[in-house]
Amino acid sequence: MSSMYCFQCAREYVEEVTECVECGVALVSEPPTPPEEVGEQDEPQVAYELYEWSFEARRMLEGLLTSEGISHGWQGAVLIVREADEDRVDALAEQAETADGPILDPEVEKIGYGMDEWSAEAQSALVAALGLAGVAHEFDAEGELIVAEEDEERVDEIIDQVAERVAMDDELGEASQVIEGLALNDLLGDVRVLANKLVKNGGDAKATLALVKKADVLSDVRTPFGFDSRTWSKIRLRASHMVGVLSDEDRDEDAVHEAASTLAAELSEVV
């Protein structure tokens, strides 16, 4: 039987339980990282005291941190992160705190969405997205997501976006590299230039070798500060696909042209 965990106190529960009896927050399927294991040994840490935050706001922040691949741990309502991630965590904390607001009016007509096929992490990402969009919502005793009927179209769109991002993240796996600032701009610019070269000449051997190397790096970069995680997942996916196409000994120029065009177009939105 699978277990569920409280991300704040690390208490373990049977999978049928959905909320920590001590902390009042929704459970997650993976055991949380102990605070002392956040970052490398002796790496500086930063603590956020979130005692005055609501349970929902802390849950939302947990979902955002997990979806962004930021190493973190909890000591009750105190969040522990690497000092190197402080700027990114500040931005996510502001999102979570701002999004903690709309309460579902008990008088309005409501509709429900079954969440049986959604992991705890995916549900956290969805809750965060709904909160950021200002959509009032709640979960009933059976775990269904309940929203106002008048918000149905908007919620459908948000669910599609979150499901797409989760699917991309599942396909790619968790990124391991952190690249920011000028180094990131240089990488994005180089990949775009090389992709455009292959759009013009899919048989360019020098550009092919260089793009395989740089796109492989790009596909393994965590969401940088200032980037939307869904947009970044698309960039990682396009880069990974580009590497796969160029690494195929039986590739043809049409496949190279299509993959390079798609990658270049995706990057043109950010560089």
Q: pTM here?
A: 0.56
Q: In the predicted model, what is the mean pLDDT of the chain?
A: 86
Is the model's pLDDT at 27 over the cut of 90? no
* pLDDT tens-digit series, residues 148-159: 999 999 999 999
Is the model's pLDDT at 186 over the cut of 60? yes
* pLDDT tens-digit series, residues 106-122: 889 999 999 888 876 67
Is the model's pLDDT at 176 over the cut of 80? yes
Is the model's pLDDT at 38 over the cut of 80? yes
Do the Cβ atoms of 25 and 33 come closer than 8 Å?
no
Banded pLDDT at 245 (limits 50, 70, 90):
very high
The burial class, CB within 10 Å (0-12 / 13-18 / 19+), for 10 is middle
Average pLDDT over residues 80-101: 83
Is the model's pLDDT at 55 over the cut of 80? no
State which amino acid sits at residue 211.
Answer: L
Average pLDDT over residues 229-247: 91
pLDDT more than 90, % of the chain? 39
Classify each residue of 144-170 as buried b or exposed e, where b means 16 or more C-beta atoms within 10 Å of its C-beta: ebebbeebeeebeebbeebeebbebbe
Q: Please tell me the distance from the alpha carbon of residue 173 to that of residue 153, in angstroms, as a whole number.
A: 30
Among 219, 215, 197, residue whose Cα is nearest residue 206: 197
Q: Please tell me the distance from the alpha carbon of residue 266 to that of residue 231, in angstroms, as a whole number.
A: 9
Residue 73, SS3 per DSSP: strand
* pLDDT tens-digit series, residues 255-268: 999 999 999 999 99
Q: Domain ranges in the chain?
A: 1-100, 102-173, 181-268
